[in-house]
Amino acid sequence: MARVYGAIEGGGTKFVCAVATGPHDIIARVRLDTRTPGVTIPDAIAFIREASRGYDLAAIGVACFGPIELDKGAADYGSVTTTVKPGWAHTPIVAPLREAFGVPVGFDTDVNGAALGEVRWGAAQGCDPAVYLTVGTGIGGGVIVNGTPLHGLMHPEVGHLPIPRLQMADGRLDDFPGVCAYHGGGCFEGLASGPAVGARAGRPAEEVPDDDPLWELEAGYLAVGLATIVCTLSPRRIVVGGGVMHRGNVLHRTRERLRDVLAGYVGRPEIMVPNGEYVVAPHFGQDAGLVGALALAQAAERGAR
């Protein structure tokens, strides 16, 4: 009987679930709208149970939106904690999966999972430390150090790094109020997420033309955030995904602006190369989080041996 793994990418708008033997052999997958926990979690369990029928389910990995509790000594380990997602605060994730299947469950943030998947099989192979950043509905960052997702007081919250306001093209300091529910315009997410672009433009970010000057401002804020990451975590590679990175040539612009922000202080050739060997797109694209969940499942299986 073939060994398979369950993978759940738990997001604020959708849960993507799969059963697979590896990152390039997905047996079945489904997209579930993120409704209440009492509906969404049982639906994910039902899918994995049916899709793994006839196989040996070895472990399950969950790459989940946060904040989440990762301290295994905490009473609420394996739960979503203080999220603003209605109905999801303090929701157990790991416990119902263990109860349903009796197998090891790997659990981490969606971005820590994506970072692990990209280090193991994707765009950050051979790079340690490495950072995965997603720029979309929010901004999140995962960090891999010595082959393992970084945990400490909690998990990295790169999207809430305080970053300085930029000067606008007309010389004024940017006075945009921001969109972060906690920090307004006082953090990376509040100033540079997809909703921030949309709020500045007065229409959804996906409707902003690629030649709009807003994308240059966006690249400037992304470069400031990445420079902070470079100077604090010293990653050997930064993988940047999310819907915003597909617009307005933002990835290329961000690479160029990053060199400007670092101003020669970090003169490593990896950063200076024009074709972008340092800040790169994810190998797995929109599936980075799902593949990350698979990596978490395999790590959980190894840890249980």
Per-position DSSP letters for 86-142, written without gaps between them: TTTTTEESHHHHHHHH-S-EEEEEHHHHHHHHHHHHSTTTT-SSEEEEEESSSEEEE
Cα 116 to Cα 250: distance, rounded to the nearest angstrom: 24
In this predicted structure, what is the pLDDT of residue 237?
A: 97
What the block records as the tokens of 172 is: 């004024």
Percent of the chain at pLDDT > 70 equals 99
Of 158 and 275, which is predicted with more confidence?
158
The SS3 call for residue 269 is: helix
32 pLDDT higher than 90: yes
Pairing of strands 14-22, 25-33: antiparallel
What the block records as the tokens of 67 is: 């904040």
What the block records as the tokens of 134 is: 């997603």
For residue 245, the tally of other CB atoms under 10 A from its CB is 20
274 pLDDT higher than 70: no
| Single pTM value for the model | 0.93
Give 305's pLDDT tier (boundaries 50, 70, 90): low
Cα 143 to Cα 158: distance, rounded to the nearest angstrom: 9
25 pLDDT higher than 90: yes
pLDDT tens digits for 165-197?
999 888 899 999 999 999 999 999 999 999 999
pLDDT tens digits for 202-211?
999 999 999 9
Closest by alpha carbon to 136, among 50, 51, 197, 72?
Answer: 197
Strand partners, 5: 20, 59
In this predicted structure, what is the pLDDT of residue 233?
A: 96
224 pLDDT higher than 90: yes
For residue 38, the tally of other CB atoms under 10 A from its CB is 10
